Amino acid sequence: MTSRSYSAGMSSLELRGSLSLASLFALRMLGLFLILPVFAVHARHLTGGDSQTLVGVALGIYGLTQGILQIPYGMASDRYGRKRVIVIGLLLFALGSFVAAWTSDIHAVILGRAIQGTGAIAAPVTAFIADITREEHRTKAMAMVGGSIGLTFAVSLVAAPALYRSIGMDGIFELTGALSLAAIWMTLAVVPAEPRSAGDSTRRVQRGALGEVLRNTEQLRLNLGIFSLHVVQMAIFVVIPVALVRYGGLAVSEHWKIYLPVVLGSFALMMPPLVQAERRGRMKFLFLAAIVLLLAVELGFAVCYTNFAMAIALLLAFFVAFNILEASLPSLVSRVAPPASRGTALGVYNTTQALGLFVGGAAGGWLAKNFGDPAVFVFGFAVIALWLGVASGMRVPGETVERAYRVSPRLDPTGLRERLVRSRGVREAVIVPEQGIARLKVYPESFDERAVREIIEGES
């Protein structure tokens, strides 16, 4: 049995898991996004739909129930397993979709949207990705999820008007329910099996896990980050769509011609630096550089958002920075959090994300109405500057090294992995029985190699 440094690309399990979970997220989000471009038009045909307040509640109630339930869903996935909780959330989303489809009253639609929001699966999905990926590949995996969401949003801008003309709003709601049911099939049939400990309903959530998450300074920095990022995102999109119409002469129905290439271009531009930063251990540098780019974007919008060409260029820069940060933040949260409470930590993270969406939309609208559009970008600049100051002191989890050990190809890989990851100084463990190798990512300063060797010899 020997040990050595080891470095490799994503394993087939990591790649399949990341792609299938990203696709699952895309199916669910497509069902959600298809509603947004056309619901306000459709609401006029509903009983009570002439009230803009009720239309706004129908759109926003989903985010409210999502925000309330992210933490409970994350904690439940820590105890009962990721797949069970994801399936329950998808069932509730499908139920809410069918409730909204089979009514002609705005109040019943609000009820359906609230039920949709109770399927708050973001924390279990991101925790699942963290469970099955090694740290050096986790940000790429999270970027796949972010990419699937961004692409789905752009596709929905194109598809929603055509679907509304052909199958109506009821049909779109029914389609969202069907997509959620398809996502359940994908969860059960395509997504890889979760680690045995994650599906053990007898295990206990670490006592005080939520309190520990809320007191952890590094996690608080990251939660402030996702809150700030989505405050700025929502505030910007209070102004930019109107600016594209007013200063670019582009009808709302044509906005997808801007958003689709900008979103696709931003992913092409953000992946090379992301991969290089992970490979060279420069994630903090890239993280801070993306925040600085956001600052520059806010300043640029404040000065020249009325220039159509400049607005498009700034949108591209915004999405490059946004996508880097959207991929990096959950990856860093999963590294800072203990494995046993990852779902809890990501639940808190997703709750602050939802709050950011609410605050950004509300603050952006109030500032634009009372102080003019440039005030929205000045506000965004101040928020990002505060975040940069807080993030500059962040500590990325300690450097790890990889070691590989010879193991018997006849052993139980799941049982061995579970014992290894509980050993002192072991961050991650990947067992490849067909190669007779156990690959460990360890913290050298606390790694107990003798205990690891005893575990492997005991299993062989």
Q: Which residue has the higher pLDDT, 237 or 116?
A: 116
Evaluate if residue 339 carries a pLDDT over 70.
no
User: With bands split at pLDDT 50, 70 and 90, how would you rate the model's confidence at 385?
Assistant: very high
User: With bands split at pLDDT 50, 70 and 90, how would you rate the model's confidence at 40?
Assistant: low
Q: Which residue has the higher pLDDT, 408 or 175?
A: 175
User: With bands split at pLDDT 50, 70 and 90, how would you rate the model's confidence at 239?
Assistant: confident
pLDDT digit string (tens) for 449-459? 888 888 887 76
Q: Which residue has the higher pLDDT, 287 or 423?
A: 287
User: With bands split at pLDDT 50, 70 and 90, how would you rate the model's confidence at 336?
Assistant: confident
Evaluate if residue 348 carries a pLDDT over 90.
no
Q: Which CATH architecture has domain 213-397?
A: Up-down Bundle (1.20)
pLDDT of 234 reads 78
User: Which fold is adopted by the domain 401-459?
Assistant: Alpha-Beta Plaits (3.30.70)
> Which of the residue ranges 10-14, 202-206, 245-249 would you say has the lowest mean pLDDT?
202-206
Task: Summarize the confidence of residues 139-145 as an average pLDDT.
Answer: 76
Task: Summarize the confidence of residues 124-152 as an average pLDDT.
Answer: 77
pLDDT of 21 reads 87
Task: Summarize the confidence of residues 396-423 as an average pLDDT.
Answer: 76
User: With bands split at pLDDT 50, 70 and 90, how would you rate the model's confidence at 1?
Assistant: very low
User: Which fold is adopted by the domain 1-192?
Assistant: Growth Hormone; Chain: A; (1.20.1250)
Evaluate if residue 225 carries a pLDDT over 60.
yes
Evaluate if residue 24 carries a pLDDT over 50.
yes
Evaluate if residue 237 carries a pLDDT over 80.
no
Task: Summarize the confidence of residues 69-73 as an average pLDDT.
Answer: 86
Q: Are 308 and 411 in contact (CB under 8 A)?
A: no
pLDDT of 300 reads 95
Evaluate if residue 389 carries a pLDDT over 80.
yes
Tell me whether domains 1-192 and 213-397 share a fold: yes
- The residues spanned by each domain of the chain are 1-192, 213-397, 401-459
Share of the chain above pLDDT 90, in %: 18
Evaluate if residue 204 carries a pLDDT over 60.
no
pLDDT of 136 reads 66
Q: Which residue has the higher pLDDT, 367 or 444?
A: 367
Q: Which residue has the higher pLDDT, 342 or 260?
A: 260
pLDDT digit string (tens) for 89-114? 999 999 999 999 998 888 998 899 88
Q: What average pLDDT does the chain have?
A: 80
Task: Summarize the confidence of residues 242-270 as an average pLDDT.
Answer: 82
pLDDT of 111 reads 93
Task: Summarize the confidence of residues 66-85 as an average pLDDT.
Answer: 86
Task: Summarize the confidence of residues 377-392 as an average pLDDT.
Answer: 94
pLDDT of 198 reads 47
pLDDT of 290 reads 94
